[in-house]
Each structure stands twice: as C-alpha cells, then as structure tokens.
C-alpha cells in the first residue's frame, strides 16, 4: 500500500514508517521538522519537508505518489504547554487536520489512521479505561485530539471516510535504530535515562500526593513497536473489514513514577538522585487502558510492553545515541512480524 505519513520524522511516526517499510509498504513522509529529525526518516521512505496544513502541498503529494491511505501523527503534543498556549493546539492539531481531511476527500483517499491520545478521557471514572469511557479532557491537548476524532466520525457518516483513531497511552521504548529525542524532553522514561547517563543530574517527580498507592502518577506504558504494529494492523483492517472507530493502545498495566524509577535503576545499575517537586497542571492521577476492542477487531496484542523490556530498549538506544540523532551508529532494521 502507498501510505502518506504526516509527522513521520517524529518518535512514533518514524518507527511506524520503519515498520511499514519492513513489511513492503511504500511510504511518503511529510514533516516540517519543527520537532522531528531528518535522521529519523528511514532509508526507502520518500521525504517531503513541509506543513500538513498546506492544502496544495498535500494534494500534490497525494496525486504524484498515488497515495492510498494516510497515517496522521503530525501536531503539538506537550500537555503542559497546551495549558498555557491552547491557541497553537487548536491551530495546529485541529484546523490543519481539517485541511488535511478535506484534501483527502478531494483526492478520494478514503483511509486514515489517526494518532490520538488517552488524554481525550480526562480524569478516569473507571479503570481500566474502555473506549466508551466518558470523554472530558482536562487539557487543550486532549481537547484538540477529541475534536479531530469527532471530525473523523462525521466524515465517515457523510462521505464514507474509513478511519481508526488510535488512543495510545504512554508511548515509550525504542527500536534498534529509532528512539526518543525531543527538545525539550517531556516524556518520563527518556528524562530518567538522561539522569542515568549523568548521575550528577537530579530527577524531579512532579507531585507525590496523588490518590495512588505511592502518591505518584500511574500510567500505562506501551512499547513504540507495539504501537507501530497496532497502526499497521488497523490500516490493513480498514481495507479488508468493516471495523473502525476509536481504539485504545496500551499494555493494560499501570506503573507509577516511582516504579519506573526503580525499573531504570535495575536496568542501568545506577542509583538516581530524586526529589519531589510541585504538581504539573493538566496531569491526571491514573491512566490505564483496556485494549480488548483493538484485539477483537484487528487481532492486536502487546508483545514487548513489559516495563522491563521498554526501559531496556530505551536504555540501549540512549547509550548508542547520547546526544540524540546525527551522532549515531546505523544498524539493520528487523521487521516486526505478526
């Protein structure tokens, strides 16, 4: 299949491209490199530097490359920033996504897998969280993703667009070649690993008074390779089945910040300096997924999402890439097989 991947130079998008290529799909990456890395785009993918909100550019790509489906990862993702600058989230995540969808309609591309988030749920009223859980986002990031999900449902009803909104929980881990290199880094595991690389650094826990067993936030960490496989299986499913809609991607297991810290210390052999800081605005106490629907509709199950496997893969990548992209060794890519 010929697939356009927006945001394909970012963390999850780049790994999805890597795995699409490994199972012989044709990939075109569209990314403005505002937060992504050109070095993260796999050999074999066609790279176009540009804005997914540029309607003419998107239409030209769809025509020139005879695109059959889209994986849409591009957009703003920082929860904390969304609380202080919501305008950029509604501009980049909502308005530009609408422009993208209209271009798909015009060129008759009828399949899209959308990178959504567990932040659409807000504070959980039941755990584990199913896709039918009430949606009450407590930050602009989650609200912006939920708005795009609503667009997709209406475009399906009115125009026959086939879609899967993938609400993944905490993406983590690394493939052999590709890992996390955000600036600034907001994700928990790579932030802790930076401290393991330099034991003089202090790791700050954002609050320890949450209603959880040890007072720190509990999250469902899912390996980026499992996320990539879920996207690929959904893409194939949209072509062969009637199944569609919103799907959780997680491990169905929760780990607190302190539990992740212990896992990092065990994997790295480093004793970390830790202190407790203030709570961050927009953080929920517990987010743990039920992934039964994704398994039922597309036959997906997490395969490498134990916290030990996640931390080990991320640590291996971090040691090979202590300064992020551009200064790393290159290794062959192994396909993620069903």
CA of residue 286 relative to chain centroid, distance: 18
CATH code of the region 2-320: 3.40.50.720
What would the mean pLDDT of 104-130 be, rounded to a whole number? 95
pLDDT band at 331 (very low <50, low <70, confident <90, very high): very low
pLDDT score for 282: 67
Q: Could you tell me the residue ranges of all domains in the chain?
A: 2-320
pLDDT band at 84 (very low <50, low <70, confident <90, very high): confident
CA distance 317 to 328: 9
What pLDDT, in 10s, does the model give residues 252-296? Answer: 999 999 999 999 999 999 999 999 999 987 688 888 999 999 999
What would the mean pLDDT of 19-23 be, rounded to a whole number? 98
pLDDT at position 80 over 90: no
pLDDT at position 50 over 70: yes
pLDDT score for 332: 37
What pLDDT, in 10s, does the model give residues 186-225? Answer: 789 999 999 999 989 999 999 999 999 999 999 999 999 9
Active-site amino acid positions: 141
What pLDDT, in 10s, does the model give residues 143-172? Answer: 999 999 999 999 999 999 999 999 999 999
**Residues 307/16, Cβ–Cβ less than 8 Å:** no
* Single pTM value for the model: 0.92
């Amino acid at each position: 299949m010929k697939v356009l991947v927006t945001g394909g130079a970012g963390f999850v998008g780049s790994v999805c491209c890597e795995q699409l290529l490994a199972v012989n799909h044709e990939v075109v990456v569209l990314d403005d490199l505002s937060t992504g890395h050109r070095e993260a785009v796999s050999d074999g993918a066609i790279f176009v530097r540009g804005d997914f909100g540029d309607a003419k550019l998107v239409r030209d790509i769809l025509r020139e490359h005879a695109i059959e489906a889209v994986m849409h990862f591009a957009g703003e993702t920082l929860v904390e920033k969304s609380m202080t600058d919501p305008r950029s989230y509604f501009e980049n995540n909502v308005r530009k996504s609408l422009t993208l969808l209209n271009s798909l309609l015009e060129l008759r591309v009828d399949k899209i897998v959308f990178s959504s988030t567990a932040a659409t749920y807000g504070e959980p009223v039941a755990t584990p969280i199913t896709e039918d859980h009430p949606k009450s986002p407590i930050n602009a990031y989650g609200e912006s993703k939920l708005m795009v999900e609503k667009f997709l449902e209406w475009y399906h009803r009115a125009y026959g667009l086939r879609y899967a909104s993938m609400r993944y929980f905490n993406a983590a881990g690394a493939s052999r070649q590709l890992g996390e290199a955000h600036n600034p880094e907001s994700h928990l595991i790579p932030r802790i690993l930076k401290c393991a690389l330099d034991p003089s650094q202090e790791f700050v826990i954002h609050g320890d008074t949450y209603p959880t067993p040890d007072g720190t936030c509990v999250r469902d960490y899912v390996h980026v390779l499992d996320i990539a496989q879920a996207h690929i299986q959904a893409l194939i499913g949209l072509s062969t089945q009637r199944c569609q809609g919103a799907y959780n991607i997680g491990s169905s297991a929760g780990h607190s910040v302190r539990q992740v810290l212990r896992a990092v210390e065990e994997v790295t052999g480093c004793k970390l300096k830790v202190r407790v800081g203030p709570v961050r605005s927009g953080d929920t106490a517990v987010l743990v997924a039920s992934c039964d629907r994704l398994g039922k509709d597309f036959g997906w199950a997490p395969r490498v999402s134990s916290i030990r496997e996640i931390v080990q893969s991320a640590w291996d990548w971090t040691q090979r890439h202590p300064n992020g992209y551009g200064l790393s060794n290159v290794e062959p890519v192994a396909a993620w097989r069903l």
